């Protein structure tokens, strides 16, 4: 009977609202009305409240307004037992009020405790995670998420459910407890790795932590869906039709759970329960049923996917373990390892090369030398993986692009772990995977299947040879090294002048409709994920996709890097919004920024130089804004003279703001960024005769300067070359 | 003042269409429908009976003379022998109302003889409007007709019927309405009712939400249960029938059920009509594309060509047509048949496999 659910949901909403009110009063008492509230390192204020009402909550006093002006008016009267009024609408409103209240509760926890981030519990996902993971919900790499509340009857069942979600590339967001334990704790006990890398995210022990799942969905819609705050209808429909999420309720469904589930139904996220609660089968708010119950645990994931209306392609790879992007981040600790290869312990390499179509026998896998079953637990042996591909559209230039996929593909197999590349690769096979019968030939079968699945447009045939004999491995890697050296030389030497075609990337137009990345050999896409070669390969794979060739045309201005055809392309691709775009200037018609940039460069006017901040750096920067605030100013597909978003790699490119003088202008970078790009940066500085290490030391960082004045002071003392340059504008 | 004259308070109740108006807008209770007017006077507790223009029993004047009841007419179009005339003007509404109430109170002392009030009462949910259906089906944030359309498409709900109109002294009071409504909801057709028909359904308890479990087919019961609805929705007075057309237009706009009201699996009926107003209402339903069954035939049977046109050929021209059938069960059968015919035409009577969406297909979905 829905009436039971709706009644419970409305009751639960009242209870949760009361809890929020008390929590808020306590927070106000301890911290005062003006105390700032936020989820650390996130934009969009309280994301659910912000997206539904447009209210930007910044301090506790704003919560009091939300309580009085949003939550209270939304809370419906309790359902009459005899002559009830229609309750569906009111129950949905109650659900939304519950979400608002939960957001208040969790935000207050950050202020007055208990801290939501505690032990295994992660609390709110920060912006770095949102950009990295949220995009997967938009590009389809993540079909959706399962919000699992409560706990399974036992550890084994919990592990099975989680694995099934992983196999289907679903994220699992966990909150709430049942029977004294939680799903997350059960997974830990079952030896399953939690975290964003494995797509198993423990938000919190209480049901109120489910708000982080709703908040994540809301932030995806705001960031990637281009939905305006306060445009609640579009926001919820975006979630209903794009973010295929659902709730799995394990254990006794309390009033508060019902209330939260009602909130989720507003988003189009149905609830699938293992307990015998009433069902709500008619459709309309969600895509299909709203509440389905009494589902056995071994069917619950499949059932949930069906109820949500989700079609998921599970890779059918003929190997004894599952394959899914969700396993990509799984590490294998020494204790769980059956054997390993490479990693400075034995010689190992992987090498992909193109052959003539007649030289490749598709699907052939050859293993030369002893196999893993010859090893004791904890053993090691050499490993050489040679992938040979052929295809009518294959080109040698695509070899490096495809070779890098070995890393991704191997990690996607459960219980297989891969690190590094080329001859610094390192591979581990877990005990469970070895026990499942995994042999070296399965690596070959895996790679064969995955190349066909993801690159069928350029590859027709794939064969894989695997070597474990040390002598042979050494001999072959020697051969490969020669090829790599040639490749590197060609790549490093490749300049924008060498090519007459650049490539566009408009992948980010899904959320920044005016944005176009113009990718040239010396300026990769600002997200760092697309080099010129990648774009070229992507264009071959999907000729109508977001990467299109742009013939440069006539050069208009060399220093700032403008060409007539590039401008024409950008004008068209930006929907007429961007007339001119410079490839090498941050002052004159700079490139637009979508929001995915790895770094932001900003002018520090008084210093005559620029600062660069990377996404991972969460502290204040000398320009007076943190990365997240800066990102809001720079992103969204705007051209903002004096600011650009770019990849890390671009910093060491010869074309890095070449019009303004290049890396000479850099006066501030966080230490973590300095460390990350150190080697290449020093080389580049030497090329410019700036002195390698010395130049790096002349650049201020957060340990030496946190304000513009301090930067100026530091560089003056340090004798930074920028002091001798012309002003930037 | 009422208490000073010995009364407990003032009880305002409505009858017929005026009742449905003041119930929709102010929650004022209903005392009965058209055929019960005289019975109301005969309870002996009516101090004032106020009437405006139509559906007024001709004998009310002489009947009220037999009791202490004062009959008051308010419209310049309608004055009745034996009634007092207090003309109503919108700009002085409150003042006039006070005056009339005062007359009522003053008349309380004149109550005489035996008071006879029937013991039966019934409760129900009223007040559904074109606008609040959006809210009731999706709340503030997801307000929409989608669940209604989905219900029809999935077949849980076969369709909808408007059962409206008067009581007719030629028939057993309320029988036509109730028999027809019960037959329809048993077959998973949701009923919207107005006017005296709505009052009949209310009296029969069909506007209690729990009536769904008792009288409906499985599909309709499930829908009522999900939303918290009674199986018969009270949408207003007989002049509010236009509201039903707006609802139908909204259903068409929501999508998935054709492009025109005449494509929808719906039908209309006035199983006990008597007022000439019912003819014009019926005609605009037919003209809008709705198959409309009435009990007493229109007075056209002597003209075979016109009869054939209005009950058949007109459908080709405007989508709807008339039918005449006195037996409410048979009439309901005709409506059900029509509804299934429309469902077939829409192609929603075939079992469809559940569509599962991959990323490409999701991108193709609108988010407006
Ligand atoms: S940031 Fe640029 S290169 Fe990267 S995905 Fe977006 S549009 Fe493409
Ligand atoms: S339904 Fe018919 S009888 Fe009743 S008030 Fe309306 S017109 Fe009069
Ligand atoms: Zn981007």
Among candidate residues A539, A556, A559, A557, the one with its CA nearest the CA of residue A547: A539
DSSP 8-class letter at A84: P
Rounded Cα distance, A349 and A482, in Å: 13
A144 interfacial to chain B (CB closer than 8 Å): no
Give yes or no for A168 touching B (CB within 8 A).
no
DSSP A492-542: HH--GGG-SEEEEE-GGGGTSTT--EEEBTTB--TTSS--HHHHHHHHHH-
Roughly what angle, to the nearest 10 degrees, separates helices A88-112 and A2-31? 30
Confidence of residue A511 (pLDDT cuts 50, 70, 90): low
For A76-95, what is the mean pLDDT? 94
| Residues in chain B closer than 8 A to A238 (CB atoms) | 367
Alpha carbon of B201: minimum distance to chain A alpha carbons (Å):
16
Nearest residue in A to B147, CA atom: A284
- Total beta-carbon pairs less than 8 A apart between chain A and chain B: 137
The answer to whether A556 faces chain B, any CB pair under 8 Å, is: no
Of A3, A283, A288, the CB nearest to B225: A3
Closest residue, chain A, to B364 (C-alpha): A241
- Indicate which ligand has the atom closest to the C-alpha of A526: 1
SS3 A195: strand
- Angle, CA of A246, A251 and A256, to the nearest 5°: 70
CA-to-CA distance for A412 and A197, rounded, in angstroms? 11
Measure the CA dihedral A177/A181/A184/A189, to 10°: -170
Distance (Å) of CA B49 to CA B10, B28, B71, B74: 13, 15, 5, 11
CB A309 to CB B125 under 8 A? no
Question: Nearest-CA residue of chain B relative to A225?
Answer: B367
User: Taking CB atoms and an 8 Å cutoff, what residues of chain A touch B154?
Assistant: 282-283
Radius of gyration of chain A (CA): 28
Residues of B in contact with A139 (CB under 8 A): 359
Whether residue B228 and residue A238 make contact (CB cut-off 8 A), yes or no, is: no
pLDDT in tens, B24-77: 989 999 999 999 999 999 999 999 999 998 899 989 999 999 999 999 999 999
Please state, in angstroms and rounded to a whole number, the distance separating the CA atoms of residues A726 and B17: 87
What is the average pLDDT value for chain A, to the nearest integer? 92
Rounded CA-CA distance A92/B137 in Å is 9
pLDDT band at A109 (very low <50, low <70, confident <90, very high): very high
* CB atoms near residue A533 (< 10 Å): 20
DSSP string covering A557-615, please?
ETTTTEEHHHHHHHHHHTTT------SS-SSSSPPPB-S--SEEEEEEGGGTEEEEEET
Which whole-number Å values give the CA distances from A246 to A145, A173, A706, in the listed order?
A: 7, 10, 44
| B 138-157 residues inside an 8 A Cβ radius of A | 138-144, 146-151, 154, 156
Please give the structure tokens belonging to residue A47: 């994301």
How far apart CA A537 and CA A413 sit, in angstroms, is: 24
The answer to whether A84 contacts B209, with C-beta atoms less than 8 Å apart, is yes
| Residue whose C-alpha is closest to residue A244's, from A181, A340, A311 | A311
**Per-residue model confidence (pLDDT) at position A429:** 96
State which ligand 2 atom lies nearest to the alpha carbon of B167: 3
Q: Which residues contact B280 (CB under 8 A, 6 or more apart)?
A: none
Ligand 2 pocket at CB < 6 A: B 16-17, 33-34, 55, 165-167, 195-196, 238, 275, 277
Q: How far is A269 from chain B (nearest CA, A)?
A: 13
Q: What angle do CA B135, B136, B139 make, to 5 degrees?
A: 50
Burial class (CB in 10 A: 0-12, 13-18, 19+), A233: middle
Does residue A306 sit at the B interface (CB-CB below 8 Å)?
yes
Which of A427-441, A482-496, A513-527 comes out lowest in average pLDDT? Answer: A482-496
Q: Is B82 on the interface with A (CB under 8 A)?
A: no
pLDDT above 90 covers a percentage of chain A that reads 72
Instruction: Evaluate if residue A683 carries a pLDDT over 90.
Output: yes
Top residue of A5, A282, A290, A511 to mutate, by most chain B CBs within 10 Å, is A282
CB B139 within 8 A of CB A96: yes
Give pLDDT, residue A411: 92
Is the per-residue pLDDT at A315 higher than 80? no
Ligand 2: centre distance to CA B33 (Å): 8
Residues 6 or more apart in contact with residue A122 via CB below 8 angstroms: A195, A201, A202, A203, A204
Q: How many helices (H) and strands (E) does chain A have?
A: 25, 23
Q: Would the pLDDT of A151 be above 70?
A: yes
Q: Does A554 touch chain B (CB under 8 A)?
A: no
Question: What's residue A1's pLDDT?
Answer: 59
pLDDT band at A527 (very low <50, low <70, confident <90, very high): confident
Parallel/antiparallel/unpaired status of strands A291-292 and A383-390: unpaired
* Residue that wins the pLDDT comparison between A714 and A401: A714
For residue A236, which residues of chain B lie inside 8 Å, CB to CB?
141-142
Distance CA(A336)–CA(A359), nearest Å, equals: 39
Cα→Cα distances A282→A299, A729, B14, B67, B227, Å = 21, 64, 37, 54, 9
pLDDT in tens, A358-383: 899 999 999 999 999 899 899 999 99
Query: What is residue A578's predicted lDDT score, i.e. its pLDDT?
Result: 92
Q: How many CB atoms lie within 10 A of CB A641?
A: 13
Residue nearest to atom 2 of ligand 2 (CA): B166
Ligand 1 contacts CB of residue A596 (under 6 A):
yes
pLDDT in tens, chain B (368 residues): 888 888 899 999 999 988 998 999 899 999 999 999 999 999 999 999 999 988 999 899 999 999 999 999 999 999 998 899 999 999 999 999 999 999 999 999 998 878 899 999 999 999 999 999 999 999 999 999 999 999 999 999 999 999 999 999 999 999 999 999 999 999 999 999 999 999 999 999 999 999 999 999 999 999 999 999 999 999 999 889 999 999 999 999 999 999 999 999 999 999 999 998 999 999 999 999 999 999 999 999 999 999 999 999 999 999 999 999 999 999 999 999 999 999 999 999 888 888 898 888 888 887 76
Query: Of the candidates A629, A628, A669, which has an alpha carbon nearest to the alpha carbon of residue A652?
Result: A669
């Amino acid at each position: 009977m829905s009436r039971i659910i709706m009644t419970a949901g409305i009751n639960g909403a009242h209870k949760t609202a009361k809890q929020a009110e008390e929590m808020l009063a306590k927070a106000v008492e301890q911290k005062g009305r003006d105390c700032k509230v936020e989820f650390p390192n996130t934009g969009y204020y309280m994301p659910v409240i912000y997206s539904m009402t447009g209210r930007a909550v910044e301090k506790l006093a704003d919560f009091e307004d939300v309580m009085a002006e949003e939550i209270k008016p939304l809370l419906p009267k309790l359902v009459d037992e005899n002559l009830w009024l229609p309750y569906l609408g009111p129950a949905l409103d109650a659900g939304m009020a519950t979400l608002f209240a939960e957001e208040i509760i969790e935000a207050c926890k950050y202020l007055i405790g208990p801290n939501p981030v505690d032990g295994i519990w992660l609390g709110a996902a920060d912006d770095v995670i949102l950009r990295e993971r949220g995009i997967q919900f938009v590009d389809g790499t993540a079909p959706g998420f399962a919000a699992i509340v409560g706990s399974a009857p036992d550890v084994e069942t919990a592990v099975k459910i989680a694995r099934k979600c992983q196999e289907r590339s679903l994220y699992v967001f966990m909150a709430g407890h049942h029977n004294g334990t939680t799903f997350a704790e059960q997974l830990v006990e079952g030896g399953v790795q939690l975290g964003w890398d494995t797509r198993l995210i423990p938000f919190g022990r209480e049901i109120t932590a489910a708000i982080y799942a709703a908040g994540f969905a809301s932030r995806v819609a705001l960031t990637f869906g281009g939905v305006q705050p306060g445009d609640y209808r579009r926001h919820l429909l975006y979630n209903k039709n794009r973010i295929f999420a659902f709730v799995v309720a394990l254990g006794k469904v309390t009033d508060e759970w019902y209330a939260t589930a009602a909130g989720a139904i507003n988003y189009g996220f149905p609830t699938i329960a293992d307990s015998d609660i009433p069902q709500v089968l008619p459709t309309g708010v969600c895509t299909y049923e709203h509440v389905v119950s009494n589902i056995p645990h071994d069917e619950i994931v499949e059932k949930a996917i069906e109820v949500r209306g989700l079609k998921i392609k599970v890779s059918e790879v003929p190997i004894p373990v599952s394959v899914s992007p969700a396993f990509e981040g799984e590490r294998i600790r020494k204790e769980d390892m059956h054997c390993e290869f490479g990693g400075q312990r034995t010689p190992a390499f992987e090498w992909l090369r193109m052959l003539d179509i007649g030289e490749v026998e598709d699907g052939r896998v050859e293993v030369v030398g002893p196999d893993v079953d010859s090893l004791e637990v904890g053993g090691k042996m050499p490993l050489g993986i040679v992938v040979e591909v052929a295809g009518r559209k294959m080109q040698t230039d695509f070899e490096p692009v495809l070779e890098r996929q070995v890393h991704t593909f191997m990690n996607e197999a459960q219980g297989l772990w891969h690190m590094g590349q080329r001859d610094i690769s390192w591979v581990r096979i877990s005990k469970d995977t070895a026990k499942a019968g995994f042999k070296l030939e399965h690596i070959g079968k895996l790679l064969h299947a995955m190349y066909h699945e993801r690159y069928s447009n350029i590859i027709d045939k794939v064969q894989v040879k695997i070597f474990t004999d040390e002598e042979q491995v050494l001999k072959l890697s020697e051969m490969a090294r020669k090829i790599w050296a040639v490749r590197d030389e060609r790549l490093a030497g490749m300049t924008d002048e060498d090519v007459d075609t650049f490539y566009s990337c408009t992948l980010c137009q899904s959320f920044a409709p005016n944005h176009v990345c113009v990718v040239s050999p010396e300026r990769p896409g600002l997200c760092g994920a697309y080099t010129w070669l990648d774009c070229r390969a992507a264009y071959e794979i999907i000729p109508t996709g977001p990467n299109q060739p742009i013939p440069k045309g006539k050069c208009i201005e060399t220093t700032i890097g403008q060409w007539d055809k590039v401008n024409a392309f950008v004008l068209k691709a930006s929907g007429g919004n961007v007339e001119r775009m410079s490839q090498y200037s941050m002052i004159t018609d700079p490139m637009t920024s979508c929001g995915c940039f790895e770094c932001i460069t900003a002018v520090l006017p008084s210093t005559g130089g620029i600062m660069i901040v990377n996404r991972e750096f969460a502290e204040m920067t000398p320009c007076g804004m943190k990365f997240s605030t800066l990102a809001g100013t720079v992103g969204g597909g705007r051209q903002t003279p004096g600011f650009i978003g770019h990849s890390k790699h671009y910093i060491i490119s010869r074309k890095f703001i070449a019009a303004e003088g290049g890396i000479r202008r850099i006066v501030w970078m966080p230490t973590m960024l300095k460390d990350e790009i150190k080697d290449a940066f020093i080389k580049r500085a030497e090329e410019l005769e700036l002195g390698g290490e010395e130049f790096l030391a002349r650049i201020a960082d957060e340990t030496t300067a946190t304000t513009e004045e301090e930067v100026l002071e530091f560089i003056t003392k340090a004798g930074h070359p920028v002091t001798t340059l012309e002003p930037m504008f | 003042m009422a208490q000073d004259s010995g009364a407990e308070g003032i009880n305002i109740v409505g009858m017929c269409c005026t009742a449905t108006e003041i119930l929709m807008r102010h929650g004022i209770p209903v005392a009965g429908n058209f055929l019960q007017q005289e019975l109301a006077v005969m309870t002996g507790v009516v101090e004032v009976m106020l009437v405006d223009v139509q559906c007024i029993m001709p004998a009310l004047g002489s009947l009220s003379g037999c009791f202490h009841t004062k009959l008051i007419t308010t419209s310049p179009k309608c004055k009745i022998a034996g009634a007092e005339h207090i003309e109503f003007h919108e700009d002085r509404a409150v003042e006039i109302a006070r005056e009339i109430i005062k007359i009522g109170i003053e008349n309380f002392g004149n109550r005489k003889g035996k008071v006879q009030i029937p013991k039966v009462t019934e409760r129900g949910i009223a007040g559904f409007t074109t606008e609040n259906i959006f809210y009731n089906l999706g709340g503030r944030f997801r307000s929409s007709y989608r669940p209604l359309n989905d219900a029809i498409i999935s077949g849980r709900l076969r369709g909808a019927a408007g059962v409206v109109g008067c009581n007719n002294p030629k028939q057993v009071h309320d029988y036509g309405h109730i028999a027809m409504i019960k037959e329809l909801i048993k077959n998973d057709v949701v009923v919207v009712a107005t006017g005296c028909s709505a009052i009949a359904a209310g009296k029969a308890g069909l506007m209690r939400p729990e009536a769904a479990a008792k009288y409906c087919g499985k599909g309709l019961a499930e829908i009522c249960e999900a939303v918290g609805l009674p199986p018969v929705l009270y949408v207003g007075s007989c002049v509010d029938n236009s509201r039903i057309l707006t609802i139908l237009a909204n259903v068409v706009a929501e999508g998935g059920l054709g492009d025109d009201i005449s494509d929808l699996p719906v039908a209309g009926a006035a199983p006990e009509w008597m007022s000439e107003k019912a003819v014009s209402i019926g005609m605009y339903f037919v003209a809008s594309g709705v198959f409309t069954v009435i009990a007493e035939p229109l007075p056209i049977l002597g003209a075979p060509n016109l009869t054939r046109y209005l009950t058949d050929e007109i459908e080709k021209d405007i989508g709807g047509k008339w039918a005449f059938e006195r037996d409410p069960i048979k009439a309901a059968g005709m409506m059900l048949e029509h509804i299934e015919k429309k469902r077939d035409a829409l192609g929603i009577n075939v079992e469809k496999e559940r569509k599962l969406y991959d990323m490409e297909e999701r991108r193709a979905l609108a988010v407006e």
